[in-house]
Structure 1
């Protein structure tokens, strides 16, 4: 499970060192793809296969399902960390997420997310109050 907030840096070659807590889960391979809110999703290969299978459940007659599948998979890149636990983020994904040198990597349960730090700070500031006010109706039975 991916947890926590981390602040790695993007190097000049578009590489980032993943947080040590994530190494075991991602060491055998991972998939990076477009996420929502202009971040990147990072899945273990196994979890990506599970997500892909769920997306494939959408009827082919569903335009929304086809659109989501196309955008999700067309941005996907299989990567394998090097011996220093770095992964290369492809240029098209760095551009999509607006990544600069300063990154924020968060654990989001079944995936990690990579954000440009300024974008993460804006997102967090905008959504923190709503998180504090989240009622039971949003996630029934949580509390």
Structure 2
């Protein structure tokens, strides 16, 4: 199975606001690779993830291969799938994020849309700033711990 998740190349950090209806503008730089419907789902560390249909299909295959007898697999699968939502980018470059996902990510108004290679993440600005403040000092230490994977 090819890992399609690793083939996208999303980079950059963009500040946007969510409107009262739950719509967020997707940066133009990302929209080129997000043709058609996309899926928004719970991510790790308090953010939301955006997947292309192709990426979502690969993730679904990976999730289906997890054993139902393992509690961790059931918890992980439920957390991603139960609140996931198919979205379409409208003519103004926005997606409508269901309120359950907005609440999950604690997005109130300001948000950050971050390209992190194979994924696009949506964060509340407060969570993003806190995460970056907490982890920017240990960036080099984290990099050292990953050297075997980064060569």
- Give the TM-score taking structure 2 as reference length: 0.89
1:141 is displaced (CA, Å) by 4.6
Query: More strand per residue: 1 or 2?
Result: 2
User: Per-residue deviation at 1:135?
Assistant: 4.6
**Cα distance in structure 2, aligned partners of 1:18 and 1:126:** 26
Cα RMSD for the two superposed structures: 1.3
- Say which SS state the counterpart of residue 137 (structure 2) adopts: helix
Unpaired runs of 5+ in structure 2? 1-8
Give the aligned partner of residue 127 of structure 2: 119
Deviation, structure 1 residue 27: 2.5
88, 101, 109: which one pairs with 1:101? 109
Structure 1 range deviating more: 89-98 or 22-31: 22-31
Give SS of 1:4's match.
Answer: strand
Aligned length: 143
In 1: Cα distance, 2:100 partner to 2:143 partner: 38
Quick one: distance in 1 between partners of 2:26 and 2:113? 8
Per-residue deviation, 1:54: 1.2
Question: Residue 43 of structure 2 corresponds to which residue in structure 1?
Answer: 35
* Separation in 1, partners of 2:116, 2:141: 20
Measure, in 2, the Cα distance between the counterparts of 1:16 and 1:135: 32
- C-alpha deviations, 1:17-52, integer Å up to 9, x for none? 101111111131100011111111111111011112
- 8 Å contact 1:44–1:111 — kept in the other structure? no
Unaligned runs of 5+ in 1: none
* DSSP-derived class of the 2:16 partner: coil
How far, CA to CA, are the matches of 1:141 and 1:48 in structure 2?
Answer: 24
